[in-house]
Structure 1
Amino acid sequence: MDTEMVRAWVDGWVVSRGAAPPVEEPWGFTVDVGLPKQVTRHVLPHADEALVRKIAERATAPGTWLKVCMAPETIAPWLAPDWVFDDPGFLMSTTLRPSTTLHPSAAPRPSSTDLPAGYQLRLWSGGDVTRALILAPGGAFAARGQVAGRPRADCVVFDQIETAPAHRRRGLGREVMQTLTNAAIAAGARTGVLGATVDGQGLYKSLGWIAHAPLTGVFRTSPDAGG
């Protein structure tokens, strides 16, 4: 796996989530996240059985995560029963291209022609993160997403892309992604990176994103938690 792409994803992810700056390790990166269920995460762009076992044995605190660019079935035999698998993921990237149908701004704006009637899209920035929110008729949450990167960064990270179950298959995820893409391009970015779920991968592929590697997450529970 391309270490520079993983580094770009880690750099943008910590900005998006408000985590500590990553610490570079001989084998990858360590990030202090600071949440009760995710205290620290170790990101391994390249790994083998000896390395995964070594880091897993040293990471004894509950709430420690590993993110490994390998398939879940490959690393599963290397981990003790108190490591729990997160949903499968994939590291993806794309060259950012603007959408001519969208004109994002920092202020709330009405629905674009690509949204169903009654839906509204809002876009705002805070620090190095730009967020898009789609509200359903009546104001309920329908979809969201955010893009993060340092000022004038060439590569940015798309994160927390989500559509409420009751509002799926209406083009809302596509609208969020295209709006955030335009905002990122306006800020000087040329490349996007993200960690995709199985459900989200289809949307991103339809928008031209390419999957490069599995992105498997596992987290440590208490030693007496069993399998």
Structure 2
Amino acid sequence: MEGKVSVEIVEKWLKGWCLSREVPFPVPYTSGFQVIVGDEKQKERYVFPELNDDFFRLAHSINEPWIHLKVSISPEEFISKIPERWRLQPQGYMMTCFQPMNFPEISLAKGYHLEFSEYNTTFVVRIAAENDEQASIGRVSLTDDMAVYDRIITEKNHQ
């Protein structure tokens, strides 16, 4: 199903991403979306549901650093067609689940505990060790009828 992500799903996912990161919502940009991130290592991000001429025109027009382009397709399909100044980042994946999710009863390893917090419509789940060292953290933002998981990390010494 690679490259066949609907515009509506990309927009909802991007809204959830924005909620998680507390940045302004996406605005339409040609056949994709633009987000003003405002971070020193990510000023803006452009997200396209599919590879098309809009993506290529933008890739050729941007000359400043720290602007990210994302498209739902494998890099092999575009990397040779964009300027060499672009740097490919590790791939990320958009996963979908269109049915109720079941969560089994689990318990944490001895010495770990769960902590919960929230902001806007984002819920943060943190797993901490006895010394309060962060072992793992993740966020889920609720937007429209979608849950968007973001920034899920397990620290190396707790894997």
- Above 0.5 in TM-score? yes
Which of 44, 55, 58 in structure 1 is aligned with 2:58?
A: 55
List runs of 5+ in structure 2 lacking aligned partners: none
Which of 74, 80, 85 in structure 1 is aligned with 2:83?
A: 80
Q: Which has the higher helix share?
A: 1
Aligned equivalents of 1:126, 1:51: Cα separation in 2: 35
User: What is the CA distance between 1:51 and its match in structure 2?
Assistant: 3.2
User: After the TM superposition, which parts of structure 1 deviate over 4 Å for at least 4 consecutive aligned residues?
Assistant: none
Q: CA RMSD in A?
A: 1.6
Match of 1:147 in 2: 140
Instruction: String of CA shifts for 1:36-73, please: whole Å, max 9, x gaps.
Output: 1101111010113x333211122222111101111011
Which of 116, 119, 122 in structure 2 is aligned with 1:123?
A: 116
The two structures have a TM-score, normalised by structure 1, of 0.64
Q: Quick check: 1:16 aligned with 2:20?
A: yes
Higher relative contact order (CA 8 A, sep 6+): 1
Q: Quick check: 1:7 aligned with 2:43?
A: no
User: How many equivalent residue pairs?
Assistant: 154
Amino acid at match of 1:36: E
Amino acid at match of 1:147: V
Aligned equivalents of 1:123, 1:96: Cα separation in 2: 22
Aligned equivalents of 1:77, 1:100: Cα separation in 2: 45
Which of 138, 160, 167 in structure 1 is aligned with 2:158?
A: 167
Q: Quick check: 1:134 aligned with 2:127?
A: yes
Match of 1:71 in 2: 74
Instruction: String of CA shifts for 1:141-177, please: whole Å, max 9, x gaps.
Output: 1001001124xx3212110011011211xxxxxxxxx
Q: Quick check: 1:33 aligned with 2:37?
A: yes
Match of 1:211 in 2: none
Report sequence identity in percent: 29
User: What is the CA distance between 1:100 and its match in structure 2?
Assistant: 5.9
Structure-2 change in CA distance of 1:96 and 1:54 (3 Å): same
